[in-house]
Chains A and B, each alone.
Chain A
Amino acid sequence: MSLLLNILIDGVAYGMVLFMISVGLSVTMGLMRVINLAHGGFALIGGASCHWLIAEQGMSFWLAAPLGVAAVVALAWPLERLIYRRIYGFGDLQQVLATIGLTFLIIATVNRLFGSSLLALTLPDVLAQSVDLGFRTLPLHRLIVIGAGIVVIAGLWLLIDRTRFGIRLRAAVDNRATASAIGINTGLIYSATFCLGAGLAAVGGILGAEMLPIEAYYPLRYMVLFLIVVAVGGMGSISGSFAAAIALGVLDTATRYLVPDFGTIFFYACIILFLALRPNGLWGRTA
C-alpha cells in the first residue's frame, strides 16, 4: 500500500516538474508550430539570471525568480522580432537547424559568463524544509511545483479557450493570411505568444531546478525530455502535454520502484510503442 502511495506521490511530483519544464515548448512548438529546440536555452537563461541575482547580488529567491523570468521575456521579444519571425516560414529541417544553432549560442554564452559548473539556486529556508506526510516526508518545494503546475494549466486553459486573445491566437495559427485579412494583428499575437512560451520556459527552469539543476549544458541534457512530453501529449494540445507529463512521471517512477534493473529501457520502450500506435499523441490534432 505504501509502495503504491509512494509511486503515486513521487510520480505526480516528477510529472509536474516535467510539465513545468516543457509547457513553454507546448506553447511555442505545439501552438505556434515552430520547432523551437532553443526552448531549453530560455529555461537556462532564466535559471542562470536567477542564480546570478541570488549569488552575486544577494537578492532573495522570491525577488530573483520573477526577475529572472522577466529577463527572459525581455530578451525573447527582440529575439522574436529579429530572428524567429524569419524562422516561422522555414521548413521543418531548417527550423531545427536554426533553433539548435541558437541553443549552441546560448550555451556558449552562459559557459563564457558562468563556467560549466553547477549554478545553484539557493532556496529560502521555508522552501528547503520537508513536509511530514505521516508515512514519509516530501520536500516542500515539490508541493510548490505541483501547485504551480495546476495554476499554469488552469491559466493557460482560460487564456487560450476563454479569452479574445486565445481566439485570435488560434485563428492566427490555423490560417494566418485569413486571420490578418479580418483585421487581427497576427504579428503582435505571435510576439506575445512567443514571449509567453519563453517566459514559461524560464518559470519551469527555475522551479524545476531542484530536480534538473541549472548548468550551461542544460538545454541539450534535457532536450529529449521536453520533446517526449510534447510529442506524447500531441502537438497543439496543452492539456495533452499535461496528461502526458503526469503519465510519464508516474511511469518512470513506477519503473524505478518496481524494476530498477530495467533502467530506462522500459520507459523508452513504452514511449516507442505508444507513438507507434498514436503518432499524433494523446490529444493531437492531425495537421
Chain B
Amino acid sequence: MKSSFFRFSAAATLLLSTAVAGQAETIKVGVVAPFSGPFALYGKQFQEAIEVYQAQHGTSAGEHDIEFIYKDSGGPNPDQARSLTQELLIKEQVDYLAGYVFTPNALSVAPLLDQSETPLVIFNAATSAINAQSDFYLRTSYTLWQVSAPLAEWAYEQGIRDVVTTVTDYGPGIDAENAFVTAFEEAGGTILDSIRMPLSTSDFTPFIQSIREQSPDALFTFLPGGPPTFGFTKTYNENGLREEGIMFLGTAETEESNLQGFGDAGIGLTTAYHYSADHDSELNREFIAKNVEMHPDAVTNWATIGAYDGTHVIYEMVKNAGADGPAAVESVLGLEWESPRGPLTMDPETRTVIQNVYIREVERDEDSGLLVNREKGVIATVGDLGWAE
C-alpha cells in the first residue's frame, strides 16, 4: 500500500508537469469497461460509440489530438477496476478517464481522481451516491431516481392508485424501489406491497402469482438485463396479469439489446427511460445510421448513447482546458448541447446530465417488423433526483 501510494504521488507530480508543459499535445483518455465475460457487450458498445463520435467530429479537439486507450475490467470488480485505473494513470499517463459500467467499479477510484486531479466521465454506473465521492466525476448516463420517480408521478396522473413494487434484491433494485415508492406515495398513491426478489431467481411464478392475488392497478419492477428480465416478463404475460388489467411499469427492462428476444410477449410493456433507439429526431437517425454503417452488427442503446455523449463532454473539456483536470471539469459545468436522445445540460451541482425522461411502449414497427420502444411523450425533464436523498 505504502509503495503504491508513493508511486502514486510520483505519478501525480508527473501528470502536473505534463499539464504545465502541455500545449497542442496528444491527450490520452483511458476507458475502463468490460471487454470480456458476460458484460463484454457494454465495452464493445462504448468503443463503437467513441468511434462513431470520432468519425463525425475528427480525432482532435481544439489544438489537441485525442487518443483512447481501452482496459478490460471484466464484471463488477472494484479491485480490478482500481488497479487498471492506477495503471492508466501511472504507466499510460492518461489525462481523462471514462467508461465504468458498474457502481462499485466507479466508486473504487474516487481517491485516485482526487489525488491525480483527473476528470472521469461515467458512461453508465447509475447510483446517485457516486458523484458525491469526488468532484472529478461527471455522468452522461442517468440515475435510477431520475427515471423511476417521474414514472411514479406519471402513473398516478394516469389514474393508477395501487401499485405493488417487485425489484431484484441488489443495490440498483433497492434504489429504484425507494425512488418509485417515495414519489408514488408523495403523489397520493398506495403501495400495497414491496417484494424483493433474489438475484438468482429463475422461476418468477410465485412472485407474479402473489401480485395477481393483490390485484393492484400496476406493478413496478426493476430487473438486471438478460435472463431475469426475459423470465419475469414471460411470466407476467403467461399468468394473465395483462388481462387482469395489471399494468407493467419498468425502466431499462425493454432496452434494445434484449428487446427482440421478447417476441410478441414484449408488446405493450410500458417503461420510462432516457433513451430509445426509436427516438424521433434527425440527429438520432444520423447517429444510428453512422453506427450501423461502421459496425454492421451493432445494437444502439443506452450504453451507446451514454458513451457518445460522454465522448462529447471529453472533447469539450479538452477543447477548453487541455490536460488541466480541475479547469476542464469547471469548464463543462452547465454545458448545454443537443444529443441524439434530446437536449442535455450538465448539472453544475450533481455533475449528472439533466435530461428528458420519456414514457415508451413496446410496439412492432410496421416498416422493419422489429420491436421498438415507441416514445409516447416526454414525462419530465429532470436532473439527478436522488442527489439529496
Contacts and interface: CB of A to CB of B under 8 A. Distances in A.
A and B interact? yes
Interface in B244-288: 257-258, 260-263, 265
Nearest to B203: A14
Contact of A253 (B206, B231, B240): B206
Interface in A258-280: 260-261, 263-264
A55 B143 CA distance: 35
A80 interface: no
A260 B197 contact: yes
Q: Which of B41, B196, B202, B231 has the most CB of A within 10 A?
A: B202
Contacts of B169: 263
Q: Which of B38, B227, B299 has the most CB of A within 10 A?
A: B227
Interface string A218-255: 00011001000000000000000000000000001100
A217 interface: yes
A136 interface: yes
Interface in B14-49: 38-41
Nearest to A10: B205
B94 to A, nearest CB: 27
B198 A211 contact: no
B38 A217 contact: yes
Given A117-B257, A137-B239, A211 B203 contact: yes
B349 interface: no
A101 interface: no
Given A210-B234, A260-B207, A117 B41 contact: yes
A210 B234 CA distance: 8
Interface string A196-223: 0000000000000011110111000110
A261 B198 CA distance: 9
Contacts of A211: 202-203, 231
Interface in A18-71: none
Given A116-B41, A260-B197, A263-B196, A221 B206 contact: no
B230 A213 contact: yes
A122 interface: yes
A211 B261 CA distance: 14
A83 B148 CA distance: 52
Interface string B213-238: 00000000000001100110010001
A221 B210 contact: no
A256 B227 contact: no
Interface of A: prevailing SS:
mixed
B196 A116 contact: no
B195 interface: yes
A264 B227 contact: no
B195 A17 contact: no
Interface string B171-204: 0000000000000000000000001111011110
Interface residues of B, number: 36
Nearest to B238: A139
A180 interface: no
A111 interface: yes
A120 B261 contact: yes
Nearest to A255: B206
Nearest to A9: B205
A238 B13 CA distance: 67
A134 B257 CA distance: 37
Contact of A130 (B201, B231, B240, B258): B240
Contacts of A17: 203
Interface residues of A, number: 37
A118 interface: yes
Nearest to A122: B263
B202 A130 contact: no
B258 A117 contact: yes
A61 B192 CA distance: 40
B202 A215 contact: no
Interface in B56-100: none
A122 to B, nearest CB: 6
B209 interface: yes
Q: Which of A118, A215, A257, A264 has the most CB of B within 10 A?
A: A118
Contacts of A117: 41, 226, 257-258, 261, 299
Contacts of B203: 10, 14, 17, 211, 252-253, 256
B200 to A, nearest CB: 6
A14 B209 CA distance: 14
B206 A120 contact: no
B258 A118 contact: yes
B209 A10 contact: yes
Contact of A6 (B201, B202, B209, B234): B209
Contacts of B261: 117-120, 213
A147 interface: no
Given A120-B260, A213-B227, A257 B41 contact: no
Contacts of B41: 115-117
A134 to B, nearest CB: 13
A59 B356 CA distance: 42
Q: Which of B38, B195, B258, B262 has the most CB of A within 10 A?
A: B38
A242 B240 CA distance: 30
B270 to A, nearest CB: 21
A260 B40 contact: no
Nearest to A120: B261
Given A257-B210, A260-B197, A137 B38 contact: no
B166 to A, nearest CB: 9
Given A10-B209, A212-B202, A213-B231, A118 B195 contact: no
A253 B202 CA distance: 11
Contacts of B201: 256
Contacts of A136: 209, 212, 239
A258 to B, nearest CB: 9
A221 B197 CA distance: 17
Given A117-B257, A216-B38, A137 B238 contact: yes
Contact of A120 (B38, B205, B257, B263): B263
Report the 3 A-B pairs with minimum CB-CB distance, sorted nearest first. A256-B206, A118-B261, A139-B238
Given A213-B230, A225-B202, A256-B206, 9 more contacts: A14-B203, A120-B261, A130-B240, A137-B239, A137-B240, A215-B226, A257-B206, A260-B207, A264-B198
